[in-house]
Amino acid sequence: MFRGWLHALWFRLRSLAKGRRLDRDLDDELKFHMAMHQQKLVEQGMPPEEARYAARRAFGNPTQTKEATRDLWVFPFLETLAQDIRYGLRQLRRNPGFTAVAVLSLALGIGANSTIFSIVDSDLLRPWPVKDPARLAMVTTQRFKESDSLLSSYPDYLDVRQQAGALSGVVAYGNRGAFVSGDGQRLGQEVSVEVVSQNYFAALGVRALRGRTFLPQPEEASAEGHSVMVSYRFWQNYFGGDTSLPGKAIILDDKEFTVIGITPQDFCGLRSVGAPDIWVTKEGWETMVPGESRWDAARDNRWFQVAGYLRPDTQLSEARAQLDGLSKRLALAYPATNQGVGFLVQPASEWAHRGMETGIYLMAMVGLVLLISCANVAILLLAKMERRQREIAMRRALGAARRRLINQFLTEGLLLSVAGGALGVLLAMWLIRLGPTLLPALSDMNLKLDSRVLLFTLAISLFSTLIFGLAPALRAVKGDLTAALKGEIRKRMTVRLPLRSLLVCGEIALAVVLLAGSALLLRSLLYSQAINPGFDWKRNVVMLSVAPPMLYGYDQAHAGVLYRTLAARVDSVPGVVSVSYARRPPLTESEGGETQAVVIPGVQSPPGTDHFNIRYNIIAPKFFATIGGPIEMGRDFNEFDSPSTTPVVIINSAMARRFWPDQNPVGRSIRIGKKRYQVVGVVESGEYLNLHETTQPYLFLPFSQVFSFECMLFVETAGNPRSYLPAILKATAAVDPHLPIVNAVTFSEYMHETLARQRSMAELLAGLSILGMFLAAVGLFATVAYLVSRRTHEIGVRMALGASRNHILRLVLIEGLRLSGVGAVVGLAGALTASRLMSQLIYCVPLTDPLSYAVAIIVAVAVALLACYIPARRAAKVDPMVALRYE
């Protein structure tokens, strides 16, 4: 049966391809038949001419035979389709307004979906471009008690690599920063450096776009200690795509490296955010930062991500069991660092998709926009169907098959969605090109409109046809023929329009969900800006990184003088209010999370250890005055704190509360390492790590007593700090013209950057909800306008009976309000449910924040009323005489 069907299909396809030849063949065949008949008659003694006519006559009607035969060959289906398409196009041409609104609605919905899909796809869905990504597993260190995950130390990585037999090709990588100084003509630049185990590229199967990658053999270690790989983007941006780059030298900090290769364009490391500029081996990094070689021994120096391939015949559970065993052995051997921690193994896809909720949420929201546009088209189609009710009834009465009619309407819908889809793709192309300018967060992503996105667009276009096309089509062919022919259906329609009301309510509901989501995000964003980050971000403060002075010939003593001189020189620049410096900027500790081992006399340390790990910063005097963090008790550091005086420390109020509840901590002493420190001040607690956390104990040490080669200047200016920057840089250049001062960032820029993810999310969602609301308003407008046009007669009667214009206006507005009110209530329930998806994105405001929902409903209802107002005005202007004659 099936084979026969295939056979027929093949023949038909062939006949389609043959086209005219088939006709000619058939013609020949029939002519041959007649010729043979004629020949026979001639042989029987008939004159040739007469025989020809006789043969013709005997044959009957050759044209009919030909047509009957040919019909077998061509697709009846295709023919009908072509007919339907022609019919559909004619219908669409006849109502250009309808067509334009429907196609634009769809184009907006589909275009938004394709754009968001391409973002989510490039951000979240695509596996890393490495060998066999499905078998790649990520190993993270996990603290059991805090149930949070950390990176791993290099010694732990080596143990995993040697002792987890279920994993092969185990690599480690960690992110660091360095300064690139080019050839003296270019400015220095801070770059993101991926410090990797030497087998990194070989194990991941990543080949160099140009040049080569690191040799995996351990005996090459010292040779590869001077090699770096450069990312495609850095190669393009910094070296202008110079094809002769491999083999050339590059200065990282003050060490010379040889560029051995360029990574492929799509390889951005095994990260879910951010892309490294430069890859350097662990040995290479050691030569740059000699002090860091201690990580060979330090198991608490955790900044490596570990990844490895599951061997072909093993399961994840085996690797898990092996790593559990390993972590138990490590805990016994190194209790100080490895107790209470274990390894977590996850498939790479799962690990990389930790931000998936955001993607799912975005897709869901943009899906709502598509539903709104589909509902719009459905509403428009319904209105059109009703106008055509009589025609449809007539066609049915004349014997048109129900299925045939439905097919015809669906074809019309298909045409709409194909046009909408095509326009949507254009829109998406434009948006994607514009994306990075609209949302800076997108510039990191490799957005493109590729076959996956196009396939997705095609799928949603077809899907939307079914959504909006089927209901009106089914409805059109339903119902009482006689009534429809007499034109009675129209009157019944105006009384109750459940389907249309449902659609409009649904649209408003979806718009409310969108609006509530973006209101929540915006509120959360506003709150995030209002919370106390430990500094006053509205101050005119600029932060400047000083390149590590040891790279420029300073020893510790000279560097200390250098910092003080820099601060003093900048302080004398006109317009500078206050200057200080610190080891790190606030809010960035999440990367390193470096702590000091602190012993607090009289307070029991956590079990198994003899100290507390407390995060810290090293600061100069006037730091708090400059950044705007008030000192609650005690004093600031001052010029009298020196190496020879009592070591001092300032703590935050969270630390004070934790260790000395209800007591004055000033004057107490704590032990850090072997030294005793006296607490001299308490400052207000801020969110030092990120804006998400609860306040943590934190301490500050003075630069004059604890030295660091990392230094950042904080300069408060009288006005916009950017305008003082040239003068500030001139002052620093006067101290040392060779020492790079880089990365000037103002507080407000810094805060914006910190909130960038949330902000771009909020902006995207706000854009979507505006789009959704707009589309819903169009739908509502179309509905009310249609209702008004249908009720012109009734309105005329009412006015003739003495209803005032205001009365009519109210009548129509109340109708619209009823629809949108029901929609808003349903939407409220939907928004509350949908908000759960956002829990990762919302800080500071509860997911049930009443104000956000109230705003959403008010906006929705206000827009709805506006959409009803225009048709309502038109209704009120109806001339009763004209209206009564309308029928």
Partner 1 sequence: MMQEKKERSSDLVQGTLDMLVLRTLARGRAHGYAIAESIHLKSEDVLRVEESALYPALHRLELRGLLASEWGISENNRRAKYYRLTASGRKYLEGESARWNRMTAAIARVMETA
Binding site for partner 1 (CB under 8 A): 3-4, 7-8, 11-12, 25-26, 28-30, 32-33, 35-37, 39-40, 58-62, 64-65, 68-69, 71-73, 76, 80, 401, 404
Least Å distance, CB 16 to partner 1, is 13
For partner 1, the closer of residues 24 and 492 by Cβ is: 24
Least Å distance, CB 756 to partner 1, is 60
Distance CA 118, CA 112 (A): 10
Picking from 783, 796, 817, 780, the residue whose alpha carbon sits closest to that of residue 875 is: 796
Distance CA 461, CA 422 (A): 9
Least Å distance, CB 91 to partner 1, is 21
- The DSSP code for 96 is H
Q: Which residues pair with 343 in a beta bridge?
A: 141
For partner 1, the closer of residues 28 and 488 by Cβ is: 28
Least Å distance, CB 481 to partner 1, is 20
For partner 1, the closer of residues 40 and 328 by Cβ is: 40
Distance CA 245, CA 257 (A): 12
For partner 1, the closer of residues 11 and 53 by Cβ is: 11
Q: Which residues pair with 200 in a beta bridge?
A: none
Least Å distance, CB 34 to partner 1, is 9
Strands (E), 467-611: 541-546, 576-582, 595-599
**CB half-sphere exposure, 438, CA atoms < 13 A:** 13
Distances from the Cα of 792 to the Cαs of 95, 588, 804, 871, in angstroms?
A: 21, 66, 15, 11
For partner 1, the closer of residues 400 and 847 by Cβ is: 400
For partner 1, the closer of residues 56 and 186 by Cβ is: 56
For partner 1, the closer of residues 17 and 530 by Cβ is: 17
Distance CA 665, CA 601 (A): 12
Least Å distance, CB 43 to partner 1, is 11
Least Å distance, CB 1 to partner 1, is 11
Least Å distance, CB 429 to partner 1, is 41
For partner 1, the closer of residues 10 and 144 by Cβ is: 10
- Contact criterion met (CB below 8 Å) for 186 and 742: no
Distance CA 26, CA 69 (A): 8
Report the SS3 class of residue 159.
helix
For partner 1, the closer of residues 4 and 312 by Cβ is: 4
For partner 1, the closer of residues 60 and 184 by Cβ is: 60
Least Å distance, CB 438 to partner 1, is 51
- Contact criterion met (CB below 8 Å) for 420 and 105: yes
For partner 1, the closer of residues 68 and 459 by Cβ is: 68
Strands (E), 419-540: none
Least Å distance, CB 402 to partner 1, is 12
Angle (nearest 5°) at CA 299 between 298 and 304: 100
Least Å distance, CB 475 to partner 1, is 23
For partner 1, the closer of residues 5 and 640 by Cβ is: 5
Distances from the Cα of 286 to the Cαs of 154, 189, 299, in angstroms?
A: 12, 20, 16
Least Å distance, CB 82 to partner 1, is 14
Least Å distance, CB 30 to partner 1, is 7
Picking from 729, 217, 828, the residue whose alpha carbon sits closest to that of residue 520 is: 828
Least Å distance, CB 45 to partner 1, is 18
Report the SS3 class of residue 431.
helix
End-to-end CA distance of the chain: 57
For partner 1, the closer of residues 45 and 240 by Cβ is: 45
Distance CA 604, CA 607 (A): 8
Helix, strand counts (H, E) of the chain:
31, 23
For partner 1, the closer of residues 404 and 793 by Cβ is: 404
Picking from 490, 514, 511, 520, the residue whose alpha carbon sits closest to that of residue 867 is: 511
DSSP letters, 649-693, are EEEEHHHHHHHSTTS--TT-EEEETTEEEEEEEEE-----S-TTS
Give the dihedral sign, CA 732/735/741/746: negative
Region for residue 252 given its phi and psi (left: phi exceeds 0; alpha: psi -120 to 50; beta: otherwise)? beta
* Pairing mode of beta strands 227-230, 255-262: parallel
861 Cβ neighbours under 8 A, 6+ residues apart: 817, 820, 821, 824
Write down the residue that tokens 């095509």 correspond to.
422
Least Å distance, CB 69 to partner 1, is 5
Least Å distance, CB 391 to partner 1, is 21
- Count CB neighbours of 358 within 10 A: 19
Distance CA 359, CA 356 (A): 5
- Contact criterion met (CB below 8 Å) for 516 and 753: no
For partner 1, the closer of residues 15 and 118 by Cβ is: 15
- Contact criterion met (CB below 8 Å) for 454 and 117: no
For partner 1, the closer of residues 477 and 831 by Cβ is: 477
